[in-house]
Amino acid sequence: MEKRVKEKVFDLPGLRNRRHVFKDREAAGRVLSRMLEQYRNSNAIVFAIPAGGVAVAVPLARELGLPLDVAVVSKITLPWNPEAGYGAVAFDGTVRLNEELLSHFRLSEGQIRAGIRKTEEKVSRRVALLRGDRPLPDFKRPVLLVDDGLASGFTLLTAIEALRKQGCGELVLAVPTAHEESLSRVMDEVDAVYCPNIRGGLSFAVADAYEQWRDLSEEEIITLLKKPPKPV
Protein backbone atom coordinates (compact mmCIF):
# COMPACT_ATOMS: atom_id res chain seq x y z
CA MET A 1 0.00 0.00 0.00
CA GLU A 2 1.76 3.17 1.15
CA LYS A 3 5.49 3.42 0.63
CA ARG A 4 8.21 5.52 2.18
CA VAL A 5 9.64 7.77 -0.54
CA LYS A 6 12.40 9.83 1.03
CA GLU A 7 13.01 8.65 4.56
CA LYS A 8 9.95 10.33 6.11
CA VAL A 9 7.66 10.94 3.13
CA PHE A 10 4.87 8.44 2.53
CA ASP A 11 2.80 8.22 -0.65
CA LEU A 12 0.64 5.69 -2.50
CA PRO A 13 2.71 4.42 -5.45
CA GLY A 14 -0.39 3.63 -7.49
CA LEU A 15 -1.41 7.29 -7.44
CA ARG A 16 1.93 8.83 -8.45
CA ASN A 17 1.82 11.33 -11.33
CA ARG A 18 -1.89 10.75 -11.85
CA ARG A 19 -4.65 13.35 -12.08
CA HIS A 20 -8.26 13.27 -10.87
CA VAL A 21 -7.56 10.55 -8.32
CA PHE A 22 -10.01 11.87 -5.67
CA LYS A 23 -13.71 12.48 -6.16
CA ASP A 24 -13.56 15.53 -3.89
CA ARG A 25 -11.86 16.83 -0.74
CA GLU A 26 -13.94 14.61 1.52
CA ALA A 27 -12.83 11.49 -0.36
CA ALA A 28 -9.22 12.69 -0.13
CA GLY A 29 -9.58 13.08 3.63
CA ARG A 30 -10.75 9.49 3.94
CA VAL A 31 -7.75 8.26 1.93
CA LEU A 32 -5.41 10.18 4.23
CA SER A 33 -7.14 8.81 7.32
CA ARG A 34 -6.27 5.27 6.23
CA MET A 35 -2.64 6.27 5.78
CA LEU A 36 -2.63 7.79 9.29
CA GLU A 37 -4.24 4.84 11.02
CA GLN A 38 -1.57 4.79 13.74
CA TYR A 39 -3.03 8.03 15.14
CA ARG A 40 -6.56 6.65 15.57
CA ASN A 41 -8.01 7.57 19.00
CA SER A 42 -4.60 8.87 20.09
CA ASN A 43 -3.79 12.16 21.82
CA ALA A 44 -3.00 13.80 18.45
CA ILE A 45 -4.88 16.85 17.18
CA VAL A 46 -5.76 17.76 13.60
CA PHE A 47 -5.07 21.32 12.46
CA ALA A 48 -6.70 22.38 9.18
CA ILE A 49 -5.57 25.25 6.98
CA PRO A 50 -8.65 27.14 5.76
CA ALA A 51 -10.27 27.13 3.40
CA GLY A 52 -9.81 23.93 1.41
CA GLY A 53 -7.89 22.14 4.13
CA VAL A 54 -10.96 22.15 6.38
CA ALA A 55 -12.94 20.03 3.91
CA VAL A 56 -10.12 17.46 3.92
CA ALA A 57 -9.53 17.59 7.68
CA VAL A 58 -13.14 17.12 8.81
CA PRO A 59 -13.55 13.56 7.42
CA LEU A 60 -9.96 12.71 8.41
CA ALA A 61 -10.53 13.77 12.03
CA ARG A 62 -13.91 12.05 12.12
CA GLU A 63 -12.50 8.75 10.82
CA LEU A 64 -9.59 8.81 13.29
CA GLY A 65 -11.61 10.02 16.28
CA LEU A 66 -9.40 13.09 16.75
CA PRO A 67 -10.17 16.69 17.75
CA LEU A 68 -10.08 19.37 15.07
CA ASP A 69 -8.80 22.95 15.10
CA VAL A 70 -7.74 25.49 12.47
CA ALA A 71 -4.38 27.12 11.67
CA VAL A 72 -5.35 30.31 9.87
CA VAL A 73 -2.77 31.50 7.36
CA SER A 74 -3.14 33.65 4.26
CA LYS A 75 -0.87 34.68 1.43
CA ILE A 76 0.12 38.30 0.90
CA THR A 77 -1.07 39.07 -2.62
CA LEU A 78 0.18 41.42 -5.29
CA PRO A 79 -1.69 44.74 -5.67
CA TRP A 80 -2.51 43.91 -9.32
CA ASN A 81 -3.10 40.17 -8.95
CA PRO A 82 -5.05 38.79 -5.95
CA GLU A 83 -4.22 35.22 -7.01
CA ALA A 84 -0.42 35.63 -6.82
CA GLY A 85 1.40 36.02 -3.54
CA TYR A 86 4.84 37.11 -2.35
CA GLY A 87 4.55 36.05 1.28
CA ALA A 88 2.16 34.90 3.98
CA VAL A 89 0.85 35.80 7.44
CA ALA A 90 -0.10 33.22 10.08
CA PHE A 91 -2.53 33.20 13.01
CA ASP A 92 0.11 34.23 15.56
CA GLY A 93 1.36 37.19 13.54
CA THR A 94 4.24 35.35 11.87
CA VAL A 95 5.13 37.07 8.59
CA ARG A 96 7.20 35.31 5.96
CA LEU A 97 8.27 37.06 2.75
CA ASN A 98 9.46 35.37 -0.42
CA GLU A 99 12.52 37.51 -1.06
CA GLU A 100 13.26 35.77 -4.35
CA LEU A 101 9.87 36.75 -5.78
CA LEU A 102 10.04 40.24 -4.31
CA SER A 103 13.26 40.90 -6.21
CA HIS A 104 11.31 40.47 -9.47
CA PHE A 105 8.20 42.50 -8.61
CA ARG A 106 9.91 45.77 -7.66
CA LEU A 107 7.34 46.63 -5.01
CA SER A 108 8.00 49.70 -2.89
CA GLU A 109 8.42 49.40 0.88
CA GLY A 110 5.06 51.14 1.23
CA GLN A 111 3.35 48.60 -1.01
CA ILE A 112 4.89 45.71 0.92
CA ARG A 113 3.84 47.17 4.28
CA ALA A 114 0.33 47.78 2.97
CA GLY A 115 0.13 44.21 1.71
CA ILE A 116 1.25 42.83 5.05
CA ARG A 117 -1.18 45.04 6.97
CA LYS A 118 -4.12 44.03 4.74
CA THR A 119 -3.29 40.35 5.17
CA GLU A 120 -2.87 40.70 8.94
CA GLU A 121 -6.36 42.19 9.09
CA LYS A 122 -7.76 39.31 7.03
CA VAL A 123 -6.07 36.71 9.23
CA SER A 124 -7.25 38.39 12.44
CA ARG A 125 -10.82 38.49 11.14
CA ARG A 126 -10.71 34.82 10.15
CA VAL A 127 -9.23 33.77 13.48
CA ALA A 128 -12.08 35.56 15.28
CA LEU A 129 -14.62 34.04 12.91
CA LEU A 130 -13.35 30.46 13.02
CA ARG A 131 -11.81 30.16 16.49
CA GLY A 132 -13.36 32.93 18.54
CA ASP A 133 -11.50 33.50 21.78
CA ARG A 134 -10.66 29.85 22.43
CA PRO A 135 -7.11 29.39 23.72
CA LEU A 136 -4.72 27.39 21.60
CA PRO A 137 -4.43 23.72 22.62
CA ASP A 138 -1.51 21.98 24.25
CA PHE A 139 1.15 21.59 21.56
CA LYS A 140 3.00 18.85 23.42
CA ARG A 141 0.66 16.43 21.65
CA PRO A 142 1.28 15.33 18.03
CA VAL A 143 -0.15 17.74 15.45
CA LEU A 144 -1.48 16.60 12.06
CA LEU A 145 -1.40 19.64 9.79
CA VAL A 146 -3.84 19.28 6.90
CA ASP A 147 -4.33 21.18 3.66
CA ASP A 148 -5.98 20.21 0.36
CA GLY A 149 -2.71 20.32 -1.59
CA LEU A 150 0.81 21.64 -1.81
CA ALA A 151 1.74 23.83 -4.78
CA SER A 152 4.58 26.26 -4.00
CA GLY A 153 4.52 25.39 -0.30
CA PHE A 154 5.27 28.92 0.89
CA THR A 155 2.00 29.50 2.76
CA LEU A 156 2.30 26.09 4.36
CA LEU A 157 5.84 26.85 5.51
CA THR A 158 4.50 29.96 7.24
CA ALA A 159 1.91 27.87 9.08
CA ILE A 160 4.61 25.40 10.12
CA GLU A 161 6.82 28.22 11.43
CA ALA A 162 3.92 29.59 13.49
CA LEU A 163 3.11 26.19 14.98
CA ARG A 164 6.76 25.63 15.91
CA LYS A 165 6.80 29.02 17.65
CA GLN A 166 3.86 27.84 19.75
CA GLY A 167 5.97 24.93 20.98
CA CYS A 168 4.69 22.27 18.61
CA GLY A 169 6.72 19.09 19.02
CA GLU A 170 5.76 16.25 16.69
CA LEU A 171 4.40 17.82 13.50
CA VAL A 172 3.05 15.67 10.68
CA LEU A 173 1.97 17.11 7.36
CA ALA A 174 -1.00 15.46 5.65
CA VAL A 175 -1.89 16.66 2.14
CA PRO A 176 -3.72 14.71 -0.57
CA THR A 177 -1.54 16.00 -3.42
CA ALA A 178 1.78 17.82 -3.86
CA HIS A 179 4.42 18.70 -6.42
CA GLU A 180 7.59 16.75 -5.70
CA GLU A 181 9.85 19.84 -5.75
CA SER A 182 7.65 21.73 -3.29
CA LEU A 183 7.48 18.65 -1.10
CA SER A 184 11.27 18.54 -0.95
CA ARG A 185 11.28 22.13 0.36
CA VAL A 186 8.80 21.35 3.12
CA MET A 187 9.83 17.88 4.27
CA ASP A 188 12.78 19.04 6.36
CA GLU A 189 10.50 21.30 8.41
CA VAL A 190 8.20 18.51 9.64
CA ASP A 191 8.62 15.10 11.22
CA ALA A 192 6.74 13.18 8.53
CA VAL A 193 4.72 13.80 5.37
CA TYR A 194 1.74 11.77 4.19
CA CYS A 195 0.78 12.55 0.61
CA PRO A 196 -0.97 9.87 -1.48
CA ASN A 197 -0.66 11.73 -4.81
CA ILE A 198 2.84 13.07 -5.56
CA ARG A 199 3.34 14.57 -9.01
CA GLY A 200 6.21 16.00 -10.98
CA GLY A 201 6.45 17.89 -14.25
CA LEU A 202 6.51 21.53 -15.28
CA SER A 203 2.80 22.11 -14.77
CA PHE A 204 1.06 21.51 -11.44
CA ALA A 205 -2.32 22.52 -10.05
CA VAL A 206 -3.81 21.23 -6.81
CA ALA A 207 -7.23 21.14 -8.47
CA ASP A 208 -6.02 18.55 -11.00
CA ALA A 209 -5.99 15.89 -8.29
CA TYR A 210 -9.76 16.19 -7.89
CA GLU A 211 -12.75 15.30 -10.06
CA GLN A 212 -14.83 17.91 -8.26
CA TRP A 213 -13.15 21.16 -7.28
CA ARG A 214 -14.39 24.58 -6.22
CA ASP A 215 -13.46 27.32 -3.80
CA LEU A 216 -15.13 27.22 -0.38
CA SER A 217 -16.84 30.24 1.15
CA GLU A 218 -16.31 31.25 4.76
CA GLU A 219 -19.92 30.27 5.46
CA GLU A 220 -19.18 26.74 4.24
CA ILE A 221 -16.07 26.55 6.41
CA ILE A 222 -18.08 27.60 9.47
CA THR A 223 -20.72 24.98 8.71
CA LEU A 224 -18.05 22.27 8.45
CA LEU A 225 -16.49 23.33 11.74
CA LYS A 226 -19.78 23.51 13.65
CA LYS A 227 -19.80 19.74 14.11
CA PRO A 228 -16.30 18.86 15.29
CA PRO A 229 -15.78 15.10 15.57
CA LYS A 230 -14.38 15.36 19.08
CA PRO A 231 -13.97 18.27 21.54
CA VAL A 232 -10.59 19.96 21.51
* Host domain of residue 109: 75-129
Is 145:173 a contact under the CB 8 Å cutoff? yes
| Amino acid 166: pLDDT | 95
In-domain check, residue 96: yes
Among candidate residues 129, 150, 175, the one where a domain is terminated: 129
Same domain, 121 and 87: yes
| Amino acid 231: pLDDT | 45
| Amino acid 100: pLDDT | 82
Contacts of 63 (CB under 8 A, 6+ apart): 29, 30, 33, 34, 40
In-domain check, residue 206: no
In-domain check, residue 35: yes
In-domain check, residue 214: no
| Amino acid 229: pLDDT | 58
Is 32:146 a contact under the CB 8 Å cutoff? yes
Same domain, 121 and 66: no
Same domain, 68 and 7: yes
Same domain, 65 and 152: yes
In-domain check, residue 86: yes
In-domain check, residue 48: yes
| Amino acid 79: pLDDT | 84
Per-residue pLDDT of the chain (232 residues; tens, 9 = 90+): 355 555 799 999 999 999 999 999 999 999 999 999 999 999 999 999 999 999 999 999 999 999 999 999 999 998 888 778 899 999 999 999 988 888 788 888 999 999 999 999 999 999 999 999 899 998 999 999 999 999 888 899 999 999 999 999 999 999 999 999 999 989 999 999 999 999 998 889 999 999 999 999 999 999 999 865 554 4
Same domain, 36 and 150: yes
- What is the torsional sign of CA 80, 82, 85, 90? positive
In-domain check, residue 118: yes
Q: Which residue type is seen at 213? A: W
Same domain, 93 and 146: no
Same domain, 38 and 125: no
Q: How many domains does the chain have?
A: 2
DSSP string, 26-44: HHHHHHHHHHTGGGTTSS-
Q: Which residue type is seen at 137? A: P
